[in-house]
Amino acid sequence: MPDLDIDALLAELTLEEKASLVIGGDFWHTAPVERLGIERVMVADGPHGLRMQPDGGDHVGIGGSAPATCFPTASGLASSWNRSLAAEVGAALAQEARVQGVSVILGPGINMKRSPLCGRNFEYFSEDPYLAGELALAMAAAIQEQGVGTSLKHYAANNQEDDRLRVSAEVDERTLREIYLPAFERVVTGCQPWTVMCAYNKVNGTYASEHHWLLTEVLREEWGFEGLVVSDWGAVHDRVASLVAGLDLEMPPSKGRSDVAVVEAVSSGALAPEVLDRGVRRVLRLVSQAMPTKDATPPEPAYEAHHALARRAAAESAVLLRNDGTLPLALSDGQTLAVIGPFATAPRYQGAGSSQVNPTTLDVPLDELRAQLPTHVHLTHADGFGLDDSSNDAALLAEARDLARQADTVVLFLGLPAAAESEGFDRTHLELPANQLAVLETVAQVSNRVVVVLANGSVVRTSAWEDRVGAVLECWLGGQAAGGAVADLLTGAGNPSGKLAETIPLRLEDNPSYLNFPGDSQKVVYGEGLFIGYRAYDALALEVSHPFGFGLSYTSFSLGSPSVSVAGSVGDELCVSVTVPVTNTGAVEGAEVVQVYVSDPAASVRRPEQELKGFAKISLGAGESGEVQVDLDERAFSYWSTRLGRWVVEAGEFVLRVGTSSRDLPHAHSIDLDAPSVAGPLDRDSTLHEWLADPRGRDVLLGAFDSTGSAGFIDDDLIHVIGTMPLSTLAGFGLGGFNHDLLDKLVSEL
């Protein structure tokens, strides 16, 4: 079918029809205009599996949806640090979308993990914008390559669930530019997502759905976004204001209220018809984009293959946090493994809310372990604790203790019950439920071979208990095949290679958002600014339980000295290539993630101590060597200058730190970059330091002191004390004959 003739359609559409097009037709469809052959487009959640609701539906997952593969949630997938895996998952999601007639997948969700308490962190990738942007781009690009659209969400600064529909995120521009927007920018500039979904919340007092700066100036004028902006479900408060700001499609429809408002506004002249036409054009473009795959024969479902992919993805998502050699399990015939915890038979594998998938099948960890362990290993199981409340059940506890005592090794399945984290509310603490900790303590008293397997969507505190056990495997919410993946990793059929995409702090209070989360009186102040996640723990020199980027393996790796080459220059396609030799020095095959952090020690503004700017994952057989190459562009060295309103690289030294976690960076390599000076023009209010730092300023100023015969007066000791004073102040003091007339002369000379 040919593309829609948008100009011709615009000429035909009535005002009422145009209004209907910029407001959805029902919960999951755009509005059709049958008279003109404009078909409706179906959208569906969500980021880690389709939630296609065939009949009507809701937006929080209460109603049922058609079965679809449930992949690991973003917190898991992000821990794989594997772009091609994210792309494979994306391609599978798109394939299932096509099978189910869905044209746009409402994801990925790429908000930053400002606080570990955010109830929806399981749906987001990371505390680091670079990592989130890279993985989201790989996934979104792969979805769109299959002719299915994405909806990048939630734009922007939607970093909590409490009061998410009203709260105003009070955040300065530099922090937005460097932390909360870059992942969006990366995906928009990298693959032109068909749609971007605006957030519910306000940003600095204005609803994201009415935020002209976000929706039009930054998204379109700066980043070149060509797609459509859709509202989060119910995020529109004033349809006319949102159209003006750049919100093209309201979802779901508002029972006619918005239609009336738009028609009245155009009729009365309050809304320029071109503004409505702009939104209509973008909706028609989306209809046009969706047509080729809608009209094609849908592919055959590939649910089995996708389940296998989900298992691989879940295995790569798991992070081995601790291991004294208890893992992989090495049980011989006649030995006993006690498996404890209700999650072993009723796994927690996804989060609640709009992303909740109806899985095609579900792996049960206990069954999967049974299938993989040698036949003559005895396997016993007890629940040990209940999930509905957190109080101790003496009988369950005693049963767990007895089984653990009789076993050679214990695997304890712990995690957050579904009621503890979800879309719609935030957590208030990072602790595992008390009854789980009681079982852990009881089991640890009778066994010195205890493995903890964790299932949770966002970090839980491990510092209170992890030294009581031999191994800890963090599996996040690993999707429908997590049970098989866990069995693979526990038995050694697979080797963990996940790395933390979010820091595990020693305690909640160490997190810098602690004092300002979730805010009150409908405001949340992002007082920590740039310093979220590891940027904060580094700046505050805080110990953490497990740093960003960390994860163990059953093998070991050594990284050789990086070689660094610089091509291009600042302003002209700068590319700094870092090549790192890697050797698998252990006895089994495994994968390592080489991470490159950039530090700007001489920055003139406060910058994080180091920031992740590149990474590469490499798989190597036992004893095998290889190398990875990580390329850094100009942005990797830049900060957002609020004074200049643009990205800036400051000339001078940068240090590239290379290693395998943010706190294990054995290689440091300095480079010098030349760049134009970013110092502001000197004026009367520039300080003595600023005048002296500028070569011309220095010459004229020292010349002036010479002319007054007081050159010797201005020595280093004095400069140290008065250097931060503006020259206008010094002129007022008249020291050394320096006065306002002379200062005016200097400024005009410059």
Query: Catalytic residue positions?
Result: 232
Contact 152, 144 (CB under 8 A): no
- When binding is defined by CB under 6 A, the residue of 130, 155, 184, 233 that contacts ligand BGC is 233
Extended strands (E) in 159-235: 168-170, 195-198, 202-203, 206-207, 228-231
Closest CB to ligand BGC among residues 155, 225: 155
- Both tokens of 228, joined, read 């459509």
- Both tokens of 438, joined, read 């009681």
Size of interface with ligand BGC, in residues (CB under 6 A): 8
Residues 542, 20: Cα–Cα separation, whole Å: 54
- β-partners of residue 453 are 413, 473
- When binding is defined by CB under 6 A, the residue of 95, 159, 354, 356 that contacts ligand BGC is 354
Residues 202, 433: Cα–Cα separation, whole Å: 33
Contact 553, 320 (CB under 8 A): yes
In the complex, what is the shortest distance from the CB of residue 230 to ligand BGC, in angstroms, rounded to a whole number?
A: 9
Torsion (CA) 455, 461, 466, 468 in degrees, nearest 10? -100
Q: How many residues does the chain have?
A: 750
Q: Counting contacts by CB under 6 A, is residue 153 touching ligand BGC?
A: yes
Closest CB to ligand BGC among residues 354, 503: 354
Q: Counting contacts by CB under 6 A, is residue 250 touching ligand BGC?
A: no
In the complex, what is the shortest distance from the CB of residue 351 to ligand BGC, in angstroms, rounded to a whole number?
A: 12
Closest CB to ligand BGC among residues 45, 96: 45
Instruction: Mark residue 242 as left, alpha or beta (left: phi above 0; alpha: psi -120 to 50; beta: remaining).
Output: alpha
> Which 50-69 positions form the footprint of ligand BGC (CB under 6 A)?
59
In the complex, what is the shortest distance from the CB of residue 116 to ligand BGC, in angstroms, rounded to a whole number?
A: 20
In the complex, what is the shortest distance from the CB of residue 29 to ligand BGC, in angstroms, rounded to a whole number?
A: 13
In the complex, what is the shortest distance from the CB of residue 56 to ligand BGC, in angstroms, rounded to a whole number?
A: 13
For the residues of 354-397, what is the DSSP string, one character each?
A: TT---BS----HHHHHHHHS-TTSEEEEE--S-SS--S--HHHH
In our burial notation (b when 16+ CB lie closer than 10 A, e otherwise), range 263-294 reads bebbeeeebeeebbbebbbbbbbbbbbbbebb
Residues 612, 549: Cα–Cα separation, whole Å: 9
In the complex, what is the shortest distance from the CB of residue 622 to ligand BGC, in angstroms, rounded to a whole number?
A: 44
Contact 208, 198 (CB under 8 A): yes
Torsion (CA) 296, 301, 305, 311 in degrees, nearest 10? 110
Strands 195-198 and 149-155: parallel
In the complex, what is the shortest distance from the CB of residue 163 to ligand BGC, in angstroms, rounded to a whole number?
A: 14
- What is the identity of the amino acid at 693? A
Q: At what angle do helices 303-317 and 482-491 cross, to 10 degrees?
A: 50
Q: Counting contacts by CB under 6 A, is residue 426 touching ligand BGC?
A: no
Contact 26, 253 (CB under 8 A): yes
In the complex, what is the shortest distance from the CB of residue 71 to ligand BGC, in angstroms, rounded to a whole number?
A: 16
Q: Counting contacts by CB under 6 A, is residue 45 touching ligand BGC?
A: yes
In the complex, what is the shortest distance from the CB of residue 207 to ligand BGC, in angstroms, rounded to a whole number?
A: 14
For the residues of 59-98, what is the DSSP string, one character each?
A: SSS-S----B--PPPHHHHHHTT-HHHHHHHHHHHHHHHH
Closest CB to ligand BGC among residues 198, 444: 198
- Rounded to 5 degrees, φ, ψ at 324 are -95, 15
Q: Counting contacts by CB under 6 A, is residue 48 touching ligand BGC?
A: no
Q: What is the largest CA-CA distance in the chain?
A: 97
> Which 85-144 positions form the footprint of ligand BGC (CB under 6 A)?
106
Half-sphere exposure of 83 (CA within 13 A, CB side): 13
In the complex, what is the shortest distance from the CB of residue 174 to ligand BGC, in angstroms, rounded to a whole number?
A: 27
Closest CB to ligand BGC among residues 48, 153: 153
- When binding is defined by CB under 6 A, the residue of 128, 232, 259, 368 that contacts ligand BGC is 232
Q: What does the DSSP 8-state code read for residue 179? A: I
Using CB under 6 A, list all residues that contact ligand BGC: 45-46, 59, 106, 153, 232-233, 354
